[in-house]
Amino acid sequence: MNGQNLIGGPTGGEACEVVSSVYESAPAAEPTSARLADLTTLHVGGPARRLVMARTEEELVATVRDADARGEPVLLLGAGSNVVVSDEGFDGVVVVVGTRGLRAEVSDCAGAFLTVAAGEPWDRVVIHTLSQEWIGLETLSGIPGATGATPIQNVGAYGSDVSSTIARVRTWDRMAGKIVTYAASDCGFGYRSSRFKEEPGRYVVIDVSFQLELGPLSVPIRYAELAAALGVEVGQRAPLARVRDAVLALRRSKGMVLDAGDHDTWSAGSFFTNPLLSAEGAATLPDGAPRYAQPDGTVKTSAAWLIDHAGFGKGYGSGPARLSAKHTLAITNRGAATAKDVLDLARTVREGVRERFGVTLVPEPVLVGCRL
C-alpha cells in the first residue's frame, strides 16, 4: 500500500513529495509449547503457568492490564533472545509479543520516518530499511530479537546503537495505566541502558519510531574491526549491503548469529556487559587490556578480554553449559543445559574475573526468577 502527498515549502518554495508505505513480515508462529526452553534462544527455562500470544496492540495492552488488575505476574517475551528463565518456569502469564507491521513516511526533505510494531523481528526491519536505501541500522544487522526490545537495553553493535536513530517510543505504562510516548531525549539512553531498563517491567513497548537518512552509503564506520573488514578507514562510509554482509560475517565468526543446528549459537548473546571503570580503576588493569575512553571520563574495558585472561578461554567448561568456542562472552547451551548449569558457569566466570582483576561483571540478559 503506497500513498503520496505533498508538503509545501515554508515560504511557498519547492514542494516535497511524501511517500507513505506499509511493510509487514510473516505472522508470528503460534507457540507449540508453554516451556520457556522452547521459546528462548538459550533454550533453558521451565513452563509458563499461562501463555498468551498477543497479535494486536489491543490484545497486548488488554492482556497486561487485565493480569495487572488480578495481580497475576506478567512476563513479556519478544524473540526470547535476551533472557535466562529459571528451571521452575514462570508462575504467571507469559505474553508473547506477536504484533507486526512497519509504517513509513519518506521524503527527500525529511528522510524516512518509520514506526515499527514491537513484535516485528528486528533483523527483518534492518533488511527492509537497507532494501529501501534508508541509512542507520546497517551495523545492527543479524541481531536476534524483537524491535520492541531494542530501546530497553539500547541495543548496539559495531559502532552504533539504536539511540542514534530512535525518534520516539510508545509504551503502555503499567503504573500509570495509560499509553505514554517518550521522545528519544526522554528515554534516558546510555550504554545498554534506558529508563525502560531502569524500571524493569513498568513499560510495555508498543511501537518504536526511527528517523533515518536516505542514501546508498552507510553511516561513517566507527568500529575499527568493521572498517578493517570493509577495507575503509574509520570514519568512511561504505555501501549498505556490503556493511550488512561484513557485519554478518563478523558476527558469525563470533558465534553471534543464531543457527538452530549449531549449539555454539544457543546463547543469549553477550552474557555480561562491558565494565565501565573509573580512570583509576582502569589504570590497575594489565597493559594489554582494552581501554575505551568514554565522554564522561569513565573507561570501558572488554568483558570478553577479562574473562579470557582470567583463565576462561573460548569453549571453557566441560558440562552441558560452556563458553562459546568462538567468543568468551557468550554462554552456550550444548543441548541439555538447565538454567542452573548456565548460572553456575556464569558465577564461576564472574568470581574468577573478580579475583583476578577486581572487576565485578554485570549480566546483560534479563534474569527471570533467578539471580547470579
Catalytically active residues are 192, 270, 364
Query: Do the beta carbons of residue 71 and residue 174 sit within 8 Å?
Result: no
Task: Indicate which single residue of 74, 256, 343, 361 sits in contact with ligand EPU (rule: CB under 6 A).
Answer: 256
Of 31-39, 199-207, 323-331, 352-360, which part binds ligand EPU (CB under 6 A)? 323-331
Does 290 interact with ligand EPU (rule: CB under 6 A)?
Answer: yes
Q: How far is the CB of 207 from ligand EPU (least distance, A)?
A: 23
Of 84-92, 167-175, 326-334, 345-353, which part binds ligand EPU (CB under 6 A)? 326-334
Q: How many chain residues interact with ligand EPU (CB under 6 A)?
A: 20
**CA 34, CA 37: separation in Å to the nearest integer?**
9
Of 201-209, 257-265, 325-333, 338-346, which part binds ligand EPU (CB under 6 A)? 325-333
Does 328 interact with ligand EPU (rule: CB under 6 A)?
Answer: yes
Task: Indicate which single residue of 305, 312, 316, 357 sits in contact with ligand EPU (rule: CB under 6 A).
Answer: 305
* CA 181 to the chain's CA centroid: 20
Does 273 interact with ligand EPU (rule: CB under 6 A)?
Answer: yes
- 4 or 318: whose CB is closer to ligand EPU? 318
Q: How far is the CB of 305 from ligand EPU (least distance, A)?
A: 4
**Three-state secondary structure string covering the chain:** CEEEEEECCCCCCCCEEEEEEEECCCCCCCCCCCEHHHCCCCCCCCEEEEEEEECCHHHHHHHHHHHHHHCCCEEEECCCCCEEECCCCEEEEEEEECCCCEEEEEECCCEEEEEEECCCEHHHHHHHHHHCCEECCHHHCCCCCEHHHCCCCCCEECCEEHHHCEEEEEEEECCCCEEEEEEHHHCCCECCECHHHHCCCCEEEEEEEEEEEECCECCCCCCHHHHHHHCCCCCCCCEHHHHHHHHHHHHHHCCCCCCCCCHHHCCCCCCECCCEECHHHHHCCCCCCCCEECCCCCEECCHHHHHHHCCCCCCCCCCCEEECCCCCCCEEECCCCCHHHHHHHHHHHHHHHHHHHCCCCCECCEEECCCC
- 82 or 99: whose CB is closer to ligand EPU? 82
- 46 or 255: whose CB is closer to ligand EPU? 255
Instruction: Of 214, 184, 197, give the one whose Cα is nearest residue 149.
Output: 197
Does 308 interact with ligand EPU (rule: CB under 6 A)?
Answer: yes
Q: Which residue is nearest to ligand EPU (CB)?
A: 269
Does 304 interact with ligand EPU (rule: CB under 6 A)?
Answer: yes
- 45 or 363: whose CB is closer to ligand EPU? 363
- 328 or 332: whose CB is closer to ligand EPU? 328
Task: Indicate which single residue of 47, 144, 269, 363 sits in contact with ligand EPU (rule: CB under 6 A).
Answer: 269
Interface with ligand EPU in residues 98-157 (CB under 6 A) = 157
Q: How far is the CB of 254 from ligand EPU (least distance, A)?
A: 6
Does 158 interact with ligand EPU (rule: CB under 6 A)?
Answer: yes
Q: How far is the CB of 270 from ligand EPU (least distance, A)?
A: 3
Task: Indicate which single residue of 274, 316, 317, 363 sits in contact with ligand EPU (rule: CB under 6 A).
Answer: 274
* CA 196 to the chain's CA centroid: 13
Task: State the residues that interact with ligand EPU by CB under 6 A.
Answer: 157-158, 223, 225, 254, 256, 269-270, 273-274, 290, 302, 304-305, 308, 314, 327-329, 364
